Amino acid sequence: MTDSPSQPPHAFSRIKIRVGALVFCGDEVALIRRERAGSLHYTPPGGNVEDGEDLTAALRRELEEELALDIDRAEGGDLLWVVDQRVTRPGPTPPPRKLHLIYRLHVTPGLRATLAAFEQDELPDGGHDIGTIEWIDHRETAGLPIFPPIGPALAALPHPRAVVADASLGAVTDETYTWV
């Protein structure tokens, strides 16, 4: 049996993919600080993969848009973590299931000095939200409100180039996360 067009889609019946990157300069990592409606959270630079877009092309586009970073000038690019998000959220549109693919890159201090300090995010209403790029010691991220919630795993890395044995982090569900 298939859903007819008149039936609303079910929560998590769609899957979106988001690419993001932990861009390190020494022990510090670039995170975007966002303040919205009385809440504060951080995100790794990145965004949704567009229909038909290659993952590397999406990462390249997003890091250029958000950090003014040409990934060919950075080192690395390995997939560090995958986070499976199945969280309901306010609003009339059923939420998609989202897979967050978190890559790791390294930049030199000279390259870091050329990167953006602010990121402009387009909102659904056509407005814009300005995020601040903050460079934070990765070991101090465990208690930060980062989404997806990678702070504890990031803080636990013995060093920014540490090998990670399991790329799968715990799923983000209504039981493990409260939408902010």
12: pLDDT confidence band, cut at 50, 70 and 90? Answer: low
pTM of the prediction? 0.87
Q: Are residues 70 and 91 in contact, defined by beta-carbon separation less than 8 angstroms?
A: no
Lowest mean pLDDT among 10-14, 101-105, 145-149: 10-14
Task: Give pLDDT, residue 1.
Answer: 42
Q: How far is CA 1 from CA 4, 8, 33, 131, in A?
A: 9, 15, 45, 45
Q: Are residues 64 and 150 in contact, defined by beta-carbon separation less than 8 angstroms?
A: no
3-state secondary structure of 126: coil
Domains in the chain: ranges and CATH:
15-169 (3.90.79.10)
CA distance 19 to 63: 10
Q: How far is CA 168 from CA 44, 97, 143, in A?
A: 17, 16, 20
C-alpha torsion sign, points 76, 46, 62, 35: negative
Lowest mean pLDDT among 44-48, 124-128, 156-160, 171-175: 124-128
4: pLDDT confidence band, cut at 50, 70 and 90? Answer: very low
9: pLDDT confidence band, cut at 50, 70 and 90? Answer: low
Tell me which residue of 128, 130, 136, 135 sits closest to 118, measured CA to CA: 130
129: pLDDT confidence band, cut at 50, 70 and 90? Answer: confident
> 95 is written with which tokens?
């939420």
CA distance 98 to 83: 8
Helix (H) or strand (E) holding 64: helix 55-67
Q: Which residue has the higher pLDDT, 37 or 84?
A: 84
For residues 1-25, average pLDDT = 73
Give first-to-last CA distance, the chain, whole Å.
36
